[in-house]
Amino acid sequence: MAGGSAAVPSTELLEWPKKDERRMLHAVYRVGDLDRTIKFYTECFGMKLLRQRDIPEEKYSNAFLGFGPEESHFVFELTYNYGVSSYDIGTGFGHFAIATPDIYKMVEDIRAKGGNVTREPGPVKGGSTVIALVKDPDGYTFELIQRASTPDPLCQVMLRVGDLDRSVKFYEKALGMKLVKKVDRPEYKYAMAMMGYAEEHEATVLELAYNYGVTEYTKGNAYAQIAIGTDDVYKSGEVVEHVIQELGGNVTRKPGPIPGINTKIVSFIDPDGWKTNYRWSDRQPLHSSYIHQLALEM
C-alpha cells in the first residue's frame, strides 16, 4: 500500500526503466476446456499452437498460442484446471485485441465456424477505426481491429481502472512504459490510455480504460496476469517497490530465482489490483509449471 517512509532512490535507479530492454511476453488466463479453446483460436483467429503440456499429478494442463514464436511475439498462456469448467471474468477485464487486414472476412469466417459475434464491423464511437467484437467459448471478449499491417496481430490487452492518471503514472514509472495515446470522450463518459514499449502499430500495448465515476471493478478468477521481460529483476523490483510507496499496489513475490531453472522473477499488483510479473531468463520460455504456480498466487 502507499504511504510510509522509504529511502530516496538513486537517479541511476530511477533511470533504469528507460535503459532496460523490456517486452510484453504473454498474458495468462484460465479456460474451462483447453481443447475447445485451442480449436477456436487456431481455426477462427488463425493462431498457432506453440506448445502444450499436461501435468496430471498437479491436475492441470496449459497451452501457449500466438501468431509467432514466443521469443518475438506476445502470446497467450491458457491454463485448464481439472474439473473446473467455468470462471468468473469479472467486470474489470475488458478484452484482448487482434489486428487483421480484412475484418469483414474474419468476422464472416468466425460466424461460419459458430463464433459469437457481438458487434458487427464498423467505426468506433467518435472515430474512424473499424472494429468488431466477438466472444470466445469462455466468454472472453476479443476486439478485432482493421489494420493494414502489423508485426504482431495480437496487439492489445484492455483492463479497466479506477483512476486513469494514477494508472498512467504507475505504468510509466514502475514498468517503464510510454504513454502511446490518450483519448478523453466526455460525451461518452469514458477515457483511455494506450501504454507500451513502442507505438501501437509496432508492438502489443496495454489499454487502460476509465469510465467516468467508476472507481472499482471486480477481478473475478479467470484473467491472471501479464508477464514482461527485463534484463534485471532486482533493479526492476526495486523500482516497483519505490513507485508503490507513492502510488499504491503491492509486491506479491520478491525478486529472486526459480529453483531448478535459470529464470528469475518478481511479481506485483498495480493500484487497481492487476497483476504483472517481470522475468529474466537465459532466453528460454518460462517453465509452464511455474507459470501455473504464479497464476495461482493471485
What positions carry a catalytic annotation?
143
Cα-Cα end-to-end distance for the chain: 16
H or E element, residue 182: strand 178-185
Residue 196 to residue 194: CA distance in whole angstroms:
7
H or E element, residue 103: helix 103-112
Q: What is the CA radius of gyration of the chain?
A: 19
Cβ-in-10-Å burial (0-12, 13-18, 19+) of 179 comes to middle
Cα maximum dimension of the chain: 59
Residue corresponding to grid cell 460466424: 111
Q: Smallest Cα–Cα separation from 133: which of 152, 159, 107, 108?
A: 107
